[in-house]
Structure 1
Amino acid sequence: MRAVAAEYAGHGEKTVLEKIHHDLNIWGIPKHWDLGEFMGFPIQLNAETIFHTWVAMAVCLLIAWVAVRRIDMRRPGKMQVCFEMLFDFLRGLINQSMSPKKGAGLFSIVVTFFFFIAVMNVMGVVPTYVKPTADIQTTFAFALITVSLIYIWGIKYKGAKYFKHYVSPSPIFLPITIIEDIAKPVTLAFRLFGNMKGKEIMILSLLALISGTSWLAGGFLAGTLWLLFCIFISLIQAFVFTMLTIAFVSSAVSEDH
């Protein structure tokens, strides 16, 4: 790592990790698109995140197409069985948290959350792929969808009574309830972002070790074990985000909420 740091010394404000990330950008995509300013604040779009999000969507569609192109109820294929097991598992989690009637409309969203986030996270083990979930804008967008679902389901099944918990058992709890509502998207977004960003930094750090004897002693062995662990973490984080979404929406429609 010292050799790499020495090699990249003199790159000004660029860190070693940023230089490695730049060298791995074989796609030639700019990091940001500048859209000007608004009230003195720069408006930027993360070009890498947008591009790799579309790549992940294409992979999701390809996997889904492979799974369903030869559906057979009598002799299902391996991919079909995997998808059916995933659907049954997630449907079971929803039905345990709320009535099947209330959870029916939530099912497709939950499946999409888990599948899409898991694919983006797992694809992050590819050095040239920039995980969209390592961008706070992506994770915050997912979190806002979850928060929107809380209000939509709460109002749908409770009407105006949904807002009763803001002043119950006493109006003195109103500030606390508002803080809880603000904290939900923040914690959801930063939990997923922090884990994925940390994983990305570790992968880039290990790639920096792949030179000379360090390739065998550090880079290859440590990298292989870390990549396997990263796949496990990627699936766990997708499950955690999905499970919290189910829990939050279930809390909004429960009778004692």
Structure 2
Amino acid sequence: MSESNNSGGLTEYITHHLGHNTGTLLGGKFHFDSWLVALCLGLAFVAWFSFFARRATAGVPSKGQAFVELVMEFVDGQVKDTYHGDRRSVTPLALTIFMWVVFMNTMDLIPLDLPAILVKLFAGEEAMHHTYFRLVPTADLNTPAALSVTVFFILIGHALAAKGGFGMGKELLTAPFHAHGLVARIILSPINLVMNIIEWLVKPISLAMRLFGNMYGGELVFMLIAGLMSGWVTFLPGVIANAAWGIFHILIILLQAFIFMILTVVYIAGARESH
């Protein structure tokens, strides 16, 4: 499915495809390729669902409307089973996370060398070797980290809305180890605070690393197959290997989006509950 550049070997081929189209923003490096692809896919999701939402009918739905309704019912059912409060804000969040992550993960199924081939056609071979563009935003740690940090602040918002600032602060100091005496509470409060800080920080870190690790690993497998199976002699085995891994990778794409969504809902439910 892809053609590798054998002159530099497999290592150079993989290194090139792991490179980002970077620039400088606010004094630091910024991955424009991950940002651009994620933005376009997010807008595509909003446009797609908005299109069918505006044209929804009470009668026999079209295939597009039926699919959108099926996805929404599936997500709402998962939220209903996990979160027992008011779902009016949680279900749209879960739907957005699920579909957006699915869209970004699905970019892993596009042939690796497609950007390079397009650059070669329009700018020449020399430009191709110096142009970097990664198509999978979730294989870039910055994207899962940004999503996880956003979820982290949403969790804090839900906790404050449910318990208030005083209630949340009290919980950080008095749980999970409860004490009845004043001296015992003073002694245990630093331990409780450290335990709660660790618990809160683990949530976004686990969300980001789980999604990034799976998608980055899947992308590396595609690169290895493309690099090892290049050339006409191994073209057919390469196509078969890519197709087989692609079919299996579809399960990973959907599963990782589902896990990210469901863990977000679980964390929201936990943030609104007391110890």
TM bucket normalised to smaller: 0.7 to 0.9
Give aligned pairs, total: 237
Structure 2 distance, partners of 1:20, 1:132, is 13
Aligned partner (choices 147, 155, 158) of residue 160 of structure 2: 155
Q: Is 1:117 paired with 2:136? A: no
Q: Is 1:139 paired with 2:144? A: yes
Go from structure 1 to structure 2 and tell me whether the alpha carbon gap of 1:163 and 1:86 turns closer, same or farther (over 3 Å shift): farther
Shift of 1:57: 2.5
2:127 corresponds to which residue? none
Once the two structures are superposed, the pairs formed by residues 51-200 of structure 1 within 5 Å of their partners are: 51-65=36-50, 67-68=52-53, 70-101=55-86, 103-127=87-111, 128=114, 130-159=135-164, 160-166=166-172, 167-168=174-175, 169=178, 170-171=188-189, 172-200=191-219
Q: Deviations over 1:135-157 (max 9, x none)?
A: 11111111011111111111111
1:213 corresponds to which residue? 233
Instruction: Say which SS state the counterpart of residue 261 (structure 2) adopts.
Output: helix
Structure 2 distance, partners of 1:100, 1:173, is 27
Task: Give the letter aligned to residue 108 of structure 1.
Answer: P
Q: Is the 8 A contact 2:98 2:257 kept in 1?
A: yes
RMSD over aligned Cα atoms: 2.4
Task: Give the letter aligned to residue 162 of structure 1.
Answer: M
Task: State, as a whole percentage, how many aligned pairs show the same letter.
Answer: 24
Task: Give the letter aligned to residue 145 of structure 2.
Answer: F
Q: Deviations over 1:121-169 (max 9, x none)?
A: 1122112461111111111111011111111111111112133332222
Shift of 1:89: 1.9
Shift of 1:5: 7.9
2:242 corresponds to which residue? 223
The runs of 5 or more residues in structure 2 that have no matched partner are: 115-133, 179-187
Which structure has the bigger radius of gyration? Answer: 2
Go from structure 1 to structure 2 and tell me whether the alpha carbon gap of 1:158 and 1:191 turns closer, same or farther (over 3 Å shift): same
Task: Give the letter aligned to residue 150 of structure 1.
Answer: L
Shift of 1:112: 0.6
Instruction: Say which SS state the counterpart of residue 104 (structure 1) adopts.
Output: coil
- TM-score, normalization by structure 1: 0.83
1:46 corresponds to which residue? 31
Go from structure 1 to structure 2 and tell me whether the alpha carbon gap of 1:83 and 1:17 turns closer, same or farther (over 3 Å shift): same
Go from structure 1 to structure 2 and tell me whether the alpha carbon gap of 1:82 and 1:164 turns closer, same or farther (over 3 Å shift): farther
Runs of 4+ aligned residues of structure 1 deviating over 6 Å after TM superposition are: none
1:19 corresponds to which residue? 16
Task: Give the letter aligned to residue 91 of structure 1.
Answer: D
Structure 2 distance, partners of 1:36, 1:148, is 22
Go from structure 1 to structure 2 and tell me whether the alpha carbon gap of 1:176 and 1:100 turns closer, same or farther (over 3 Å shift): closer
Structure 2 distance, partners of 1:104, 1:61, is 18
Structure 1 distance, partners of 2:69, 2:39, is 25
Task: Give the letter aligned to residue 235 of structure 1.
Answer: L
Answer with 204-213 or 230-239: which moved more. 204-213
Go from structure 1 to structure 2 and tell me whether the alpha carbon gap of 1:97 and 1:61 turns closer, same or farther (over 3 Å shift): closer
Shift of 1:213: 2.5
Instruction: Say which SS state the counterpart of residue 19 (structure 1) adopts.
Output: helix
- TM-score, normalization by structure 2: 0.78
1:34 corresponds to which residue? 24
Instruction: Say which SS state the counterpart of residue 60 (structure 1) adopts.
Output: helix
Go from structure 1 to structure 2 and tell me whether the alpha carbon gap of 1:67 and 1:57 turns closer, same or farther (over 3 Å shift): same
The runs of 5 or more residues in structure 1 that have no matched partner are: 23-29, 38-42
